A = this chain, B = another copy of it.
Amino acid sequence: MAVDLKLSFTVVTIATAALVSSPQPAALAVPSDSGPLEQFDYETRYFRQKIDHFGFADNATFNQRYLIAYKYWNHNGGPILFYTGNEGDITWFCNNTGFMWEVSKELEAMLVFAEHRYYGESLPFGNKSFSNLKNLNYFTSEQALADFAVLIRNLKQTIPGAQSSPVIAIGGSYGGMLAAWFRMKYPNIVVGALAASAPIWLFENLSPCEGFYNIVTNDFLKSGKGCSESIKNSWDAINKLSSTAEGLNFLSHTFHLCSPLQATDVTFFKSWLSNTWVNLAMVDYPYEANFLQPLPAWPIKVICTFLQNPSLPAESLLQNIFKAVNIYYNYTGNVACLNISQTATSSLDDQGWDYQTCTEMVMPSCSDGINDMFEPMPWDLQSFSDNCKKDWGLRPRPQWITTVYGGKNISSHSNIVFSNGGLDPWASGGVTKSISDTLIAILIPEGAHHLDLRSSNKEDPVSVQKARALEVKYFKKWIEQAKI
């Protein structure tokens, strides 16, 4: 499970050389659950950004994409809700952040969704952006925050009526970390931030490394009798079967794999399964949704109906495991075969995030196989770093994020709401207790990954309704403060 060392917000399996297959069609990225699309009526614009905010040798620029909507905006200094784009196409985040659209009317707010450099269309060196380390050198969270700051200053300088508009940063997941860090580093630019499902404490030794997989396990444990136990037992079953050619053949057929499983792929196959369970924990939403994949309401519960008997013989157990993962990969029933090099929407950029985990975003994770349903996987920084050296020709700096963004020592900051879902594995590195009366933690026990940022739904648990109401209350408070 070496590839799991690189925690990803979508845990997209990284293709190894042995496994490279023909390109797959992009996963469905059109949101099915975000309300009518006409509601999300934005203009696409581009802003000329400096490629290097922190050096002067080169004055080169690139076009940063951003989406803007001002249907409900009060042109006389109304607030701006600013989405701090994360690791993917900004239109995808825009269409999956219905919360911002819904509150824009009440707050008379302008909406801006800014794309993160090196993702989507915002490529500093076009299709050469990932060609070499030199071109990749400006791919950091600090540069991204500087992009946001410079863009906001420009918007306020150029849009009539926006000069004194208070700006609130909003983001989910890595975008939530950026929102929080943006408020910490640029309190002159944003009056406050909503950091949804932002694991800002999943770095260095700030949180126990086993937390992430413990939450995933717990989600399955609570969703059906025998469920997590079945998954725990599946690893030995796979190990046993994959030791023979006949067993490999059985696995390939049982799992409807697009390419026959080789002995050398078994670790990768198990990693793909693990990542599937992790992704399910992230998107265990109370209604039918299509965030990473089209899925039924409470998908883990659905899956667990197939995993009630952990004591079955290897073959039967794995046939059930297939039925379970098939819900995740083929809920629509249109998928001909399963491709173990893909686990999530193609709107998220695995390559970009992989680079970021190999530079700044080192988030230790581990499993022990006892308190969780995964195979034991200790955290091994050296091996993690060696893999980065192999893959990218560089080594990560695991102490940097805690140095530059404060680690646990953030109490001197203000006006940040950290929201976390109780079902979300990323909550293991989140701020789940309020730090002060301006650094607020909101817990959504029935929530998965940033459920609060999604459009409201009649199946929403009360906890997320309350969370959203509280978030809006803080927005209003920050906007009021800014007027003083």
Nearest chain B CB to A287 CB, angstrom units: 39
Chain A: number of interface residues, binned into ranges: 35 or more
Task: List A148-191 residues whose CB lies under 8 Å from chain B.
Answer: 149-150, 153, 185-189
A359 to B136, CA, bound (A): 23
- Determine which residue in A140, A149, A400, A407 has the highest number of CB atoms from chain B within 10 A of its CB, and name it: A400
Task: List A364-419 residues whose CB lies under 8 Å from chain B.
Answer: 394-395, 397, 399-400, 403-404, 406-407, 409-410, 412-415
A145 to B189, CA, bound (A): 20
**Is A412 touching B409 in the complex (CB atoms < 8 A)?**
no
**Is A133 touching B57 in the complex (CB atoms < 8 A)?**
yes
Cβ contacts A113-146/B at 8 Å (1 or 0 each): 0000000000000000000011011101011001
Task: List A404-458 residues whose CB lies under 8 Å from chain B.
Answer: 404, 406-407, 409-410, 412-415
Instruction: List 17 additional A-B contacts (Cβ < 8 Å) besides A56-B136, A57-B134, A149-B403.
Output: A54-B54, A56-B140, A56-B394, A57-B394, A59-B394, A146-B403, A146-B404, A149-B404, A186-B406, A187-B406, A187-B409, A187-B410, A187-B413, A188-B406, A188-B407, A188-B410, A189-B403
Contact partners of A25 in chain B: CB under 8 A: none
- Contact A138-B188, Cβ < 8 Å, known A412-B414, A412-B415: no
A140 to B143, CA, bound (A): 14
**Is A143 touching B54 in the complex (CB atoms < 8 A)?**
yes
Nearest chain B CB to A356 CB, angstrom units: 10
Contact partners of A133 in chain B: CB under 8 A: 56-57
Contact partners of A400 in chain B: CB under 8 A: 53
A174 to B59, CA, bound (A): 25
- Interface: A36 (CB within 8 A): no
Contact partners of A186 in chain B: CB under 8 A: 403-404, 406
**Is A55 touching B150 in the complex (CB atoms < 8 A)?**
no
Nearest chain B CB to A150 CB, angstrom units: 6
**Is A55 touching B188 in the complex (CB atoms < 8 A)?**
no
Contact partners of A54 in chain B: CB under 8 A: 54, 140, 142-143
A399 to B156, CA, bound (A): 14
A343 to B53, CA, bound (A): 34
Q: Of all chain B residues, which has the CB nearest A138?
A: B55
Q: Of all chain B residues, which has the CB nearest A53?
A: B400
**Is B188 touching A409 in the complex (CB atoms < 8 A)?**
yes
Cβ contacts A68-96/B at 8 Å (1 or 0 each): 00000000000000000000000000000
Q: Which residues of A contact B (CB under 8 A)?
A: 50, 52-59, 133-134, 136-138, 140, 142-143, 146, 149-150, 153, 185-189, 359, 394-395, 397, 399-400, 403-404, 406-407, 409-410, 412-415
Nearest chain B CB to A131 CB, angstrom units: 12
Nearest chain B CB to A153 CB, angstrom units: 6
A-B pairs, 6 with minimum CB distance: A188-B406, A188-B409, A57-B137, A57-B133, A55-B137, A187-B412
Q: Of all chain B residues, which has the CB nearest A54?
A: B54
- Determine which residue in A55, A153, A400, A409 has the highest number of CB atoms from chain B within 10 A of its CB, and name it: A55
Q: Of all chain B residues, which has the CB nearest A134?
A: B57
Q: Of all chain B residues, which has the CB nearest A414?
A: B412
Contact partners of A153 in chain B: CB under 8 A: 399, 403
Contact partners of A412 in chain B: CB under 8 A: 187, 413-415
Contact partners of A138 in chain B: CB under 8 A: 55
**Is B140 touching A59 in the complex (CB atoms < 8 A)?**
no
A229 to B395, CA, bound (A): 64
A186 to B397, CA, bound (A): 18
7 example contacts (A-B, Cβ-Cβ < 8 A) are as follows A52-B137, A53-B404, A56-B137, A57-B134, A58-B137, A59-B394, A146-B403
Contact partners of A50 in chain B: CB under 8 A: 397
- Determine which residue in A53, A143, A188, A404 has the highest number of CB atoms from chain B within 10 A of its CB, and name it: A188
Contact partners of A414 in chain B: CB under 8 A: 412
- Determine which residue in A57, A133, A395 has the highest number of CB atoms from chain B within 10 A of its CB, and name it: A57
Contact partners of A413 in chain B: CB under 8 A: 187, 412
A397 to B61, CA, bound (A): 14
Q: Of all chain B residues, which has the CB nearest A415?
A: B412
A407 to B188, CA, bound (A): 8
Residue among B57, B136, B146, B188 making CB contact with A57, cutoff 8 Å: B136
Contact partners of A58 in chain B: CB under 8 A: 137
- Contact A395-B136, Cβ < 8 Å, known A149-B403, A188-B406, A412-B187: no
Nearest chain B CB to A72 CB, angstrom units: 26
